[in-house]
Structure 1
Amino acid sequence: MNHIKFQSDRELDLIAVGRLGIDLNPNEINRPLEESITFTRYVGGSPANIAVATSRLDLKTGFIGRVADDQFGTYITNYLKENNIDTNGIVVDKSGAKTGLAFTEVKSPSECSLIMYRNNAVDLKIEPEDISEEYIKKSKAILISGTALAASPSREAVFVALEYARKHGVVVFFDIDYRPYTWKSEAETAVYYSLAAEKSDVIIGTREEFDTIEHLTSPETKDDFVTAKHWFDYNAKIVIIKHGKEGSYAYTDEGDKVKGVVFPVVPLKTFGAGDSYAGALIYGLINDFNIAKAMEFGAASASIVITTNSCSASMPTVGQIEDFIATAKKE
């Protein structure tokens, strides 16, 4: 068992809330960005990547967000539809806001970076009025991504979604997704992340991201057990703390501690690991996998994605993950 109870009579398995963007990945890798010549366009943004991941794993997935009233907005909406993601929660923004762009740089598998263009980013224009109570109550779970908390009116919209989810027994996944460039200060980040985490059933983040949340209350903690225990005093049932190559640890409100497996691969880049992990983990928990198996699925999905040049386009199917795990266990 995994300690999470999902309503079985819901039309959707998961609704992701937040950022829809464009990734422009260089086709010439292992070189600095200034030497890259051609790029391939992909749908990006952490919640978008996770939504694609869960849909590829045959979860009925929806999305709440805003897209620009331009060609990029049309491309994103069409891509989601092509990947069987329900787009009834997506609003076309008419304010002139633009799609956020991310140029990725892969100097080597261990030297990866981003250049972001997010002035007047449309994903932060989500209004509280965009959040439909009827839509959210159709789902077993929602996914909240931390970047959506970085500015108004998006942050207020997220809290409306959280209130509707708690009202209707919708499980809340909170992917911390800390992006320093979207925030004004560490204090601001800590305040709004904490408020969202208090209303979440499953919290997923790196040790460094949890340190950011604890910036005001317990900056010297850096202890996984103490961190998890704090959130169990609110609504959390599972807290997953990621430690990069060392793997992840899951803590439950019933006192369990589970160490996730690691599948060593030769990576092409590091982008997409966290999103693919989260998508497959969510798939496992919704399908009543025990926590160890759900984490194994997440780790395998992450290992698959980091060996490719894309994030959303490389999200694996259930069969691909199962084959990867079976092969890895034979070696």
Structure 2
Amino acid sequence: MSFDLLTMGRISVDIYPNDVGRSLEDVESFGKYLGGSPSNVAVAAARHGDRTGVITRTGEDPFGTYLHGQLSKFGVDDQFVSAVPGLQTPATFCAILPQEQQFPLYFYGRFPTAPDLQIRADELDVEAIAAARVFWSTVTGLCQEPSASAHLAAHQARPRTELAEGQYTVLDLDYRPMFWESVDEARARVAQVLPHVTVAIGNDEECAVAVGDGTPDEQADRLLDAGVEIAVVKLGPEGVMAKTRTERVVSAPVPVETLNGLGAGDSFGGAFVHGLLAGWPLAQTLDFANAAGALVASRLSCADAMPTTDEVRALLSERGRLVPNTEASV
């Protein structure tokens, strides 16, 4: 099977409270969901009809079995998902406090290591990685060996004629300080990978880790100078900007009532990939991704909440925004 999108990195069981608006110590019941940013991105793109797969590892336990089942349910190929004997599948707890706009995460089973940080370079199917139309990874996958070397090897397997051939290599600058010894270590690891990347996506803090502090335009320009072809900088309440060497576009926020801010970035990522695959203009791709992220922010879960293409188009139409012509999709 050839892939429209192949992602690599974190997977977990997300444990979300059914009692929205209560601190974790007061929550009485929870629901469990597929989690982990690269895995969620694969689900998000699959919801738009793209052929997706994920490279990751779980524990050899019932939660690992559960994640295989969830990937299959969402149409994500799990042939590159294997178990690590002796390690447990991580669980991530979240408090959902929409009134305070707070959604703190608590990671369990990731320290001192996690199964998805045990991906090894010599186990990669480099032919599948090289052939995928889009390859997606995150900075978190660089935080520990052997995962860091495996991620670098995967990026090195990608062809550098990508944009001309309709291929993209995406680095989600997803920086989580609890996984790193220092910002300097993270920046050094990112610098190794950036020359192999055609699309970088991050918010102000994440871009600062990658290329230093500065305005969004300064950070985007530094990413472009590092070899990236499309720099996407999230602007918080001001929306999101995408910049190439010849184009700069900004998509204003798509207003929704936020229920759970987690997962919006993964929905954005899967929708952005879909726009790239469909060959839409950058402005339309950015608007589509922005709306997809907004929809998930208005829902409780992440993977289970990923919208369909029709749902995103309907929201854009309601808000009077650009609606991509899905007949141009491939």
TM over 0.5: yes
**Matched residues, percent identical?**
30
Alignment-derived partner of residue 188 in structure 2: 191
Distance 1:168 1:71 in 2: 42
TM-score by length of 1: 0.91
Alignment-derived partner of residue 127 in structure 1: 120
Alignment-derived partner of residue 295 in structure 1: 286
Q: How far does residue 68 in structure 1 lie from its aligned partner after superposition?
A: 1.2
**1:150 alignment partner AA:** C
Distance 1:263 1:307 in 2: 11
Distance 1:306 1:159 in 2: 32
CA contact (8 A) 1:89 1:130 kept: no
Q: How far does residue 179 in structure 1 lie from its aligned partner after superposition?
A: 0.9
**2:39 alignment partner AA:** A
Q: Does residue 152 of structure 1 match 2:142?
A: no
Alignment-derived partner of residue 98 in structure 1: 88
Residue 206 (structure 2) aligned to one of 203, 206, 209: 209
Alignment-derived partner of residue 5 in structure 1: none
Distance 2:195 2:24 in 1: 40
Alignment-derived partner of residue 279 in structure 1: 270
Q: How far does residue 90 in structure 1 lie from its aligned partner after superposition?
A: 1.6
Q: Does residue 166 of structure 1 match 2:152?
A: no
Over 3 Å counting, the alpha-carbon distance change for 1:152 and 1:298 in structure 2 is: same
Residue 54 (structure 1) aligned to one of 41, 45, 65: 45
User: Residue 324 of structure 1: SS of its match in structure 2?
Assistant: helix
User: Residue 98 of structure 1: SS of its match in structure 2?
Assistant: coil
Distance 1:107 1:143 in 2: 30
The superposition leaves residues 260-297 of structure 1 with CA deviations (integer Å, 9 ceiling, x where unpaired) of 13111111121111111111111111100111111111
The superposition leaves residues 213-248 of structure 1 with CA deviations (integer Å, 9 ceiling, x where unpaired) of 23xxxx4x4122222222323431100000112101
Distance 1:34 1:145 in 2: 31
Q: How far does residue 167 in structure 1 lie from its aligned partner after superposition?
A: 6.1
Q: Does residue 19 of structure 1 match 2:16?
A: no
Q: How far does residue 39 in structure 1 lie from its aligned partner after superposition?
A: 0.5
Q: How far does residue 308 in structure 1 lie from its aligned partner after superposition?
A: 1.0
Distance 2:175 2:123 in 1: 24
Alignment-derived partner of residue 235 in structure 2: 243
CA contact (8 A) 1:236 1:253 kept: no
How many residue pairs get matched?
314
CA contact (8 A) 2:232 2:241 kept: yes
Residue 41 (structure 1) aligned to one of 16, 19, 32: 32
**1:236 alignment partner AA:** V
Q: How far does residue 168 in structure 1 lie from its aligned partner after superposition?
A: 7.9
Alignment-derived partner of residue 329 in structure 1: 320
**1:228 alignment partner AA:** A
> 1 or 2 for the larger relative contact order (CA 8 Å, sep ≥6)?
1
Distance 2:83 2:150 in 1: 16
Alignment-derived partner of residue 216 in structure 2: 224
TM-score by length of 2: 0.91
Q: How far does residue 324 in structure 1 lie from its aligned partner after superposition?
A: 1.3
Distance 2:97 2:261 in 1: 11
Distance 2:301 2:126 in 1: 34
The superposition leaves residues 133-180 of structure 1 with CA deviations (integer Å, 9 ceiling, x where unpaired) of 122133111001111111000010001100111368452011111111
CA contact (8 A) 1:65 1:123 kept: yes
User: Residue 88 of structure 1: SS of its match in structure 2?
Assistant: coil
Distance 2:69 2:161 in 1: 30
Distance 2:114 2:84 in 1: 11
Q: Runs (4+) of structure 1 moved beyond 6 Å?
A: none
Distance 1:67 1:31 in 2: 30
User: Residue 300 of structure 2: SS of its match in structure 1?
Assistant: coil
Distance 1:271 1:179 in 2: 14
Residue 141 (structure 1) aligned to one of 134, 141, 144: 134
Distance 1:167 1:307 in 2: 38
CA contact (8 A) 2:158 2:196 kept: no
Alignment-derived partner of residue 3 in structure 1: none
Structure 2: where are the runs of 5+ without partners?
322-330
Q: How far does residue 311 in structure 1 lie from its aligned partner after superposition?
A: 0.5
Distance 1:68 1:61 in 2: 22
Alignment RMSD: 1.6
**1:31 alignment partner AA:** R
**2:126 alignment partner AA:** E
CA contact (8 A) 1:100 1:123 kept: no
